[in-house]
Amino acid sequence: MICPNCGRNIPDGTVCPCTLEAPPPLLSDNPAVNVVKTIGSSPLFLTMAILFSASALLTVFSSMGLSDALSNIYYYAYAYGLYDYIDSIANMLDMIRATSVANAIIGSIPAILLAVAMWIHFVTCRNRMSGNISTAGLTICKVFRYIYMVALCLCAFLVLAGIALVLIVVLSEGVPPMAFAGSEDEVLLSIIVIMAIVTLVCIFAFVLGITYQASLIRMINRTKTVAQSGMADDRVSSYLVGMTYFVAVCTLISGVFALFTAPISAVGTLCQGSALILAAVLLGRYRTAMNQVLFPPVQPAVPPMYADLFPGQQPQQAGPDGQPVPQDPADGFQQPPQQ
């Protein structure tokens, strides 16, 4: 058989060495840890860390610019002749300017810590020393996921309690029929239907958010287990990947609409949405790479004449019909008789 790439004459059923690419350099002797390090130090992960950092920085700048926008109140008060309140407004604006930087930084702490966690994980994955890797960055992300999930549960409880309270008040107090075009029973029925629809929508949204945070926590725990134990695990939830894409698209859409009202904040939102898309892509690559570790592909047969090019792979002899013959009798095949 003639190789179509280089023109070498090779036995039938074998692969020409010119088609076999050299494997990338290993970051760890453990295959599973090597996958974690490879994904964590990839250019896509670096781009994602940069985008999250840019989003946090732009969020701080946007919050700092709020005081400049509020300073227009002083000129509006002067234009409308509110001279008696100008001194009070000026003092209030001075206080806002003095605390705007601190408030901006405090309000952006979650985004800043998330960016720091990304950089910590990237740096530890760049380490070529064999063995386990540090999971400090993953731990920071995990803590924030727990905080977000608890906050979502609390918000869900407050919203549903508020809806129930409003419904109880409406049912107990009643609605004046003269204020609406219809009887009191029709109005109450309409209110109940509207409240039921709002309740179902809120429950659906909160369930999606809470389950998404729980899926993120499970994924972080599995990655930490792989990094600490070296045991491969290719379980990456399709729901997690799909929800990440969904959240990314929603974030990008909101950023596009915000470009007309708050450009700086909108650019930060667009950076965050782009980073989420990269995160979904990395999750898919992580699952594929871990699956290859658990189920490695079969090594192709190497002709004896090219065995010196692949010292770690045993050459196979070709049979009378040109097909490679297994050398291990335990494979269940009989050696063909020598002619």
pLDDT band for position 98 (cuts 50, 70, 90):
low
pLDDT band for position 329 (cuts 50, 70, 90):
very low
pTM of the model as a whole: 0.71
Residues across the chain:
339
Burial of 11 per CB tally in 10 Å (0-12, 13-18, 19+): middle
Question: What residues pair up with 325 in beta bridges, in sequence order?
Answer: 317
Most confident of the ranges 161-165, 169-173, 328-332, 335-339: 161-165
Burial track 45-67 (b if 16+ CB lie within 10 A, e otherwise): bbebbbbbbbbbbbbbebbbbeb
Residue in the block written with tokens 């109450």: 188
pLDDT band for position 189 (cuts 50, 70, 90):
confident
Pinpoint the alpha helices (H) of the chain. Answer: 31-40, 43-64, 66-70, 72-79, 86-107, 109-125, 136-173, 184-229, 238-258, 263-294
CB 139 within 8 A of CB 37: no
Three-state SS at 9: strand
Summarised one tens digit per residue, pLDDT across range 258-279 is 888 778 888 889 999 999 999 9
Residue in the block written with tokens 């204020």: 179
pLDDT band for position 168 (cuts 50, 70, 90):
confident
pLDDT reading at 23 higher than 50 = yes
pLDDT computed for residue 330 by the predictor: 43
pLDDT reading at 2 higher than 90 = no
Three-state SS at 324: strand
* Angstrom distance (rounded) from CA 270 to CA 62: 14
Please give the average per-residue pLDDT across 95-110, as a whole number.
64
pLDDT computed for residue 334 by the predictor: 45
Q: Indicate the residue type of 63.
A: S
Q: Which of 82-86, 108-112, 320-324 has the lowest mean pLDDT?
A: 320-324
pLDDT computed for residue 182 by the predictor: 56
Task: Provide CB contacts within 8 A for 55, sequence distance 6+.
Answer: 111, 115, 268, 269, 271, 272, 275
pLDDT band for position 157 (cuts 50, 70, 90):
very high
The angle at the Cα of 232, spanning 229 to 236, to the nearest 5 degrees, equals 115
pLDDT reading at 237 higher than 70 = yes
Three-state SS at 78: helix
